[in-house]
Amino acid sequence: VSRIVGIGLDVVDLRRFARLLERHGPAALRRICRDGEVRIAEGPGRIAHVAGLFAAKEATMKALGLVEDPCDWRHIEVLRSPSGACDLALHGRVREAATRLGAESFALSLSHEGDYATAVVITTIHETTP
Amino acid sequence: MTDSTTAARTDSIRRILKEHGRLSVNAAELADDADLYQAGMTSHASVNVMLALEGEFDVEFPDHMLRRGVFESVSAIRSAIDELVRG
């Protein structure tokens, strides 16, 4: 059976996030995203896309109990399957934290509505029943 | 490091906190050791602060310094900047 060991939720205001990207441009993207992670290069959907990635990374840190000890956002990678489903790949210190927690699988859900992007991450471990 | 360098860095940090920290109090009037998160800085605002600090001082915070404690006060930020500038 699976048991939930962590849950994280994050909401990003797209207007504030747009200002962050305007102010810091490529530097902001380099600090938040891994190479190839940003799939929308230009256009109005780009801000919502990157804000969703950021929300997913913040939600992952919360689910892993890293709020008081945040990590490099680039150590959390948001993957997309051809069907559009989201998944996570963890690297570096975030992966170590997940291992310590015993987290074996992750569920990520992203949503955009109006001026907000949201993400929920649930981490689970698998237990065998006696 | 001279007193004037320390003062200049502190002024720059306070200016960045005022512009990007979304604090509920005036950054210029905060004590050096006042808790910035208690003063209203969110994790999202801290991203803005971090990027602005990197641009201002031409440094990059490495992974081991991306900790809450590094950004929790003016003095903590100044210590981190001093360390990064020294190389």
Q: Do A27 and B66 touch (CB under 8 A)?
A: no
Tens of pLDDT along A35-71? 889 887 777 788 999 999 999 999 999 999 988 777 8
pTM, full prediction: 0.85
- Which candidate, B33, B30, B1, B2, places its Cα nearest to that of B16? B30
Q: Do B47 and A72 touch (CB under 8 A)?
A: no
Q: Say whether the ipTM exceeds 0.90.
A: no
What stretch of H or E contains B43?
helix B43-57
pLDDT-flagged residues of chain A (< 70): none
What stretch of H or E contains A90?
strand A86-90
Q: Does B48 touch chain A (CB under 8 A)?
A: yes
Structure tokens at A6: 């962590």
DSSP string, A10-65: EEEEHHHHHHHHHHHHHHHHHHH--TTT----SSTHHHHHHHHHHHHHHHHHHHTT
Nearest to A69 among B44, B50, B67 (CB): B67
3-state secondary structure of B71: helix
> Taking the mean position of all CA atoms in its chain, how far away is CA A83?
18
